[in-house]
Structure 1
C-alpha cells in the first residue's frame, strides 16, 4: 500500500484531534480514590464477628452446641477433620481483618493527629492475631498482611512462642499511648472513639493474653496480669467489646441457625445438665424446646408455635451420636424425635441481629478471680467470682429483652454458689465456660488452658484423633497448596497438621 505525504498529514491531524481531552474522558470523577482509614478499621471490626463455622468445631469441642448430622457440618461432632470449616476463621481474619489493620498502620503511623486511630488499630490487630494463633498454633505474623505494601505473597510462619510476646508488647504499648486529649475518632463503630473504653479493651485483652501463659510461663503470666489489672480492664457491661448486628449485617451464627442448619444444631447435654442441675436461670434465657416436634418443619417458633423456654423440660443432646443413633437416644428419653432436644433459641440469643461478644466484663472478672486465687493480684477472689457471674447474667438482656434475668434470681444463684477454696479453679473456669457461651474461640482456648470444665471425651467411633479432645484447628488447604514450603516448615517444627497437635501454651 502506497501512503502519500498528503495522506500521512491527514492521519496525524486526525489522531491528534482524537487525543484532545483523552485524560479527562478517562478520569472517574465519582469513585473515591482514597478512603479515611477509620472506615477500614470499621470494616476490620465488623469482620471480627465469628462466622457460622464456630458451630462446627469450637462450640462442639467444648460441648455446648452439637449436631448429629454429617456432610458439610462434620467436625467436632465426630472429632473428624473438615478443612472447609477449619479454614473459615483463617480466611476471614487474614483477608478482612489483618489486611485492613496492616494497611491502616502503614498509612497513619507517624501522623500525630491520627495517633488514637493508630493505637486502636494495633489493639484490634493484636486481638485478631491472638485468636488466630490460639486456634491454629504457628501462623504468619511478622509478614502477614504485607502483600500490597511489601509484595510478600508467601509469608513465613512464626512460632506461637515468638508471637505471644509481640501481642503482649503491642497491647501494652498501644493501650498506654491512647490519648484522651487527641483526636476523637467518632466514626469508630466499636466504641465511638471513646479512648477510655479502648484502653479497657486493650487491658482486658492483655489480661487474657497473660492468663494464656499460666502453665507454660507462670512468672511471666503473673507480671502481665498484674500490669493489665493496674491499667484497668473491662469490669462493667457498658464497656463490653461486642459486634452489633442488624438486618443488613447479620450475626454469622444467627444466619446459620436461622437458615439451612436451623434444625441441625442442638444444645449439648453436658452444657444443659450443668445449668439445669445448678438451677441456673441462664438456661431459661438461652434454651428452647419445640415440644412434640417429630421433624424440622414441626419446630415452629413464635408466639403461636410449640417452643417452650421452661428449664424443667430442656434436655440436651448427648455427645457421640449421628442422625441414626440420635433417634434411638431420643426415643429412650421419651422424646418424639431428636428434633425435640433443646436448642439455642434462634428468636433470642441466636437471632440474626443478636450481638457477638468478643471480650466482656464477666470474662475479665473471672480471670481476675483466678489470678487472685493464684496470688498474682490483690483483691478477693470470691468477690471477683461473684461479679463475674452477675455480669454475665445481666449481659443476657443485651441479646433480647426476653432473655433478661430478674435481679432476685441472680441474687439467689450467687448466694447458692459461693467460691470454695478447694475447688476454686474448677468453679471459676467452669463459670468462664458458661460466660463464654456463643464465643466459641474463647471457650475453646480457655478449656485447653485451664482443663475446665471437666468433660468426658466425645465417645463417637471412627475419630481422627487418638487423644481425648481436639487441641487445634487444621491449616487451610489453600495454604498447603500455595504456601507449601513455608507451611511445611511450620509443620515440621510444631507437629503434624492434625486436630490433636497442641499449641505452645497448651501443656499438660
Structure 2
C-alpha cells in the first residue's frame, strides 16, 4: 500500500512536466516516503522495456495508416515530449532507496536506466537537461541544458561505472521482470548497450575526447571484464501476459486491425531477399486468400509516402496486406526485444568494417541474421534455407554497411522503439521514399523533434540558451544536432 501511494504521488508530479514545481502536493507525515528499490525496479522496467510503437513503424516505412493523414507517416511532426523525465524521477528514487538499504546492485541498475532514458532524450532533441535533471526534491526546478557531447560522455562513464559495480558476488535483484534476478545478464546488457551507444556516435569516431573506437575495442577484447550477449537467451525482452495491464500493447486494438497496412517498400525488401519473416510480420492480401501462406506473391504493401486517396483505393481493391493477426489477436504475442543478440552481432560486423575491431564481418553478419530469424520463431526449415542463401551471397563489396543496417531494420519491426529511425538518420539506410506525393515538410525526413511547449513557459532561460547554442535558425525539426555532424 505504501508503494502504491508513493507511485501515485510521483506520477502526479510528472503530469506537470519535467521541470515544473510539484511541492504543492505536500507530504503527509503519517505516510512513509520510503519504498523498496525492487518495487521501483518493476515499474521502471515495464516503462523502459516496452518499446512497441506503431508510430515508429509509420515513420520508418514499415506500416501505413489509411484512415486519415498521419503527421508521423508524412513527416509533419513538430514537438516531442519529455516523458522520460517522469521515469527518471523513479530511477533517482530507486537509487536513493538502494543506498539507504545498502544494495549497490540497484544503484548499478539505476546508472543503466539513467543512461538509457537520457540517451533516448538526447537522440530526440539534441541538448537536454542531464546533470541537473529530475532534481525537484532538491528544489531545482529549472535545470540547465547540457551539451550533447557532454551528455554522451556522461552516459558512457555511467555505463562503465555500472559494469564495474556488478559481479558474481552481487546479490540477485528482486521483482526483476527482465532477467529474473540474474545479475550477470544485466551486466551483459549494460555492455551491449554501451556498444550501441558507441556505434550511434560513428560520425564522431575522430573525437579525441570520446575515444569511441578505443572504447568499443576495449569492450570487445576484454570479455572477462566486459561480458556481452552470447545468445538470444541474453536478449533484453519484456514478456507479456494475459492479465489486465500486462497484455501486448496492440491486443484488440481497432486501428491496427482496420486502418494500418504493410508498407510497400518494406514488403518488397522482404520479397526481394526471400525473407520468411514476411510471413510472420504480415497477412496475405484479401485477393490472395487462395495462395499458400509461404507464397511471397500473396503479400503486398502500399506506399508510405503515397497520397491518402490512392492508398485507400488500393486497400479497398484488396491488394494490400494487413499486419499479421497475431499482433492484435494474441494477448501475449511475442516479447518486446529492446536490445538483442542479433543487434549485437550486426553491430560488431559494422565495427569490423569501420576498422574499430578485428574479425570477419561476414561471420557476424550471418550470425546476426540467424539469431534474428530464430527469435521471431520462423520455422526451422525456412530459417535454415534463408540463412544459407544469405551466407552464399555474403556481404557485397561497397554495400556492406547498407546490408548490415537493412538487416537491423528488418529485425526491428514492432520491437525496437525509435532505433530503426535513428539508424536511418545515422547511415542513410534504408532510403525512405518521400516521392509519393503525400509527404509534407518540403519532402524532407525530419532530423529531430522540437522541444516541448512547457519548457518555453517553465524553463525559458535555459531552453532558449540551448536552442541558440545549437540551432542559430531556431528550434526546427530539420535542424542538425551535434551528433549528426562529421568529426
For residues 429 and 452 of structure 1, the distance between their equivalents in structure 2, rounded to whole angstroms, comes to 6
What displacement does 1:214 show? 1.1
1:202 corresponds in structure 2 to 190
Q: Equivalents in 1 of 2:264, 2:280: separation in Å? A: 17
Distance 1:258 1:417 in 2: 40
Q: Which residue of 2 aligns with 1:6?
A: none
Given that residues 240 and 248 in structure 2 are in contact (C-alpha distance below 8 angstroms), is that contact kept between their aligned partners in structure 1? no
Change in CA separation of 1:313 and 1:321 when aligned onto 2, cut-off 3 Å = same
Structure 1 CA distance, aligned partners of 2:352 and 2:329? 34
Indicate which of 353, 356, 362 corresponds to 1:373: 353
Could you say which residue in structure 2 is the equivalent of 1:105?
A: 95
The residue number in structure 1 matching 2:364 is 384
Q: In the TM superposition, what are the counterparts of 1:351-430 in structure 2 within 5 Å?
A: 351-353=330-332, 354-397=334-377, 406-430=382-406
Cα distance in 1 for partners of 2:380, 2:469 equals 48
Match of 1:17 in 2: none
**Unpaired stretches in structure 2, ≥5 consecutive residues:** 1-27
1:224 counterpart = 2:219: no
- Measured on the aligned residues, the alpha-carbon RMSD in Å equals 2.9
Q: Which residue of structure 1 lines up, in the alignment, with residue 445 of structure 2?
A: 469
Kindly report which structure 2 residues correspond to 1:107-126, keeping only aligned pairs within 5 A, or say none: 107-109=97-99, 113-126=102-115
- Deviation track 1:22-46 (CA, whole Å, cap 9, x = no partner) reads xxxx997xx8663211111111110
Inter-partner Cα distance in structure 1 for 2:283 and 2:65: 16
CA distance, structure 1, for counterparts of residue 247 and residue 219 of structure 2:
30
1:260 to 1:407, Cα distance in 2 relative to 1, 3 A = closer
1:303-332 C-alpha deviation (Å, 9 max, x unpaired): x9999674321111112234312134x1xx
Residues 199, 347 of structure 2: 8 Å contact kept: yes
C-alpha spacing 1:483/1:262, structure 2 compared with 1 (3 Å): farther
Q: Secondary structure at the match of 1:499?
A: coil
Residue 7 of structure 1 corresponds to which residue in structure 2?
none
CA separation of 1:105 and 1:405: change in aligned 2, threshold 3 A: farther
- The offset of 1:340, in angstroms, is 4.7
Q: What does residue 249 of structure 1 align with?
A: 245
The 1:433–1:27 alpha-carbon spacing in structure 2 relative to 1, beyond 3 Å, is: closer
1:179 counterpart = 2:155: no
The 3 A distance-change label for structure 1 pair 504 and 127 is: same
SS at match of 2:254: coil
Partner of residue 66, structure 1: 64
Matched, 1:40 2:29: no
Secondary structure (helix, strand or coil) at the match of 1:318 reads: coil
Q: Name the structure 1 match of 2:260.
A: 265
Of 407, 413, 416 in structure 2, the residue corresponding to residue 431 of structure 1 is: 407
- 1:415 is displaced (CA, Å) by 2.9
Name the CA distance, whole Å, in 2 between partners of 1:458 and 1:48: 35
Give the drift of 1:376.
1.1
Taking a change above 3 Å as real, the CA distance of residues 253 and 321 of structure 1, as seen in their structure-2 partners, is: farther
In structure 2, do the counterparts of structure 1 residues 245 and 126 end up closer, same or farther at CA, with 3 Å as the change threshold? Answer: same
Is the Cα contact below 8 Å between 1:144 and 1:155 reproduced in 2? yes
Does residue 323 of structure 2 align to residue 344 of structure 1? yes
- Mapped contact 1:290–1:308 kept (Cα < 8 A): no
Match of 2:18 in 1: none
TM-score normalised per structure 2? 0.83
> Deviation digits for residues 418-451 of structure 1, max 9, x if unmatched?
1223221111111111122222411111111122
Whole-angstrom CA distance in 2 between matches of 1:116 and 1:38: 10
- Rounded to whole Å, the distance in 1 between the matches of 2:320 and 2:164 is 49
- Determine the C-alpha separation between the residues in 1 that align with 2:483 and 2:57: 20
**Structure 1 contact 286–403 (Cα < 8 Å) conserved:** no
Q: How does 1:448-487 map to 2 (within 5 A)?
A: 448-461=425-438, 463=440, 465-466=441-442, 468-487=444-463
Instruction: Check if 1:503 corresponds to 2:477.
Output: no
Post-superposition CA distance 1:23-76 (Å, at most 9, x none): xxx997xx8663211111111110114477x433x33332112223436xx223
Whether the 8 Å CA contact 2:292–2:298 is kept in 1: the answer is: no
Deviations 1:347-393 (A, max 9, x none): 14884433222100011100100111122112211111011101110
Q: TM-score, normalised by structure 1?
A: 0.80
Question: Which deviations, in whole Å up to 9, do the C-alpha atoms of 1:266-324 show, x marking residues without a partner?
Answer: 2211111110011011111111135159xxxxxxxxxx999967432111111223431
Cα gap change, 1:420 to 1:321, in 2 (>3 Å): closer
Q: Is this contact kept in 1: 2:369–2:387, CA < 8 A?
A: no
Whether contact under 8 Å (1:396, 1:403) holds in the other structure is: no
Following superposition, the deviation at residue 119 of structure 1 comes to 0.6
2:233 to 238, 244, 247: 238
Distance 2:323 2:450 in 1: 27
Post-superposition Cα deviations, 1:118-163, rounded to whole Å, max 9, x if no partner, equal: 1122112211211121122222211222112x12222222221110
Q: Bigger radius of gyration, 1 or 2?
A: 1
SS in structure 2 opposite 1:158?
coil
Corresponding residue of 1:55? 54
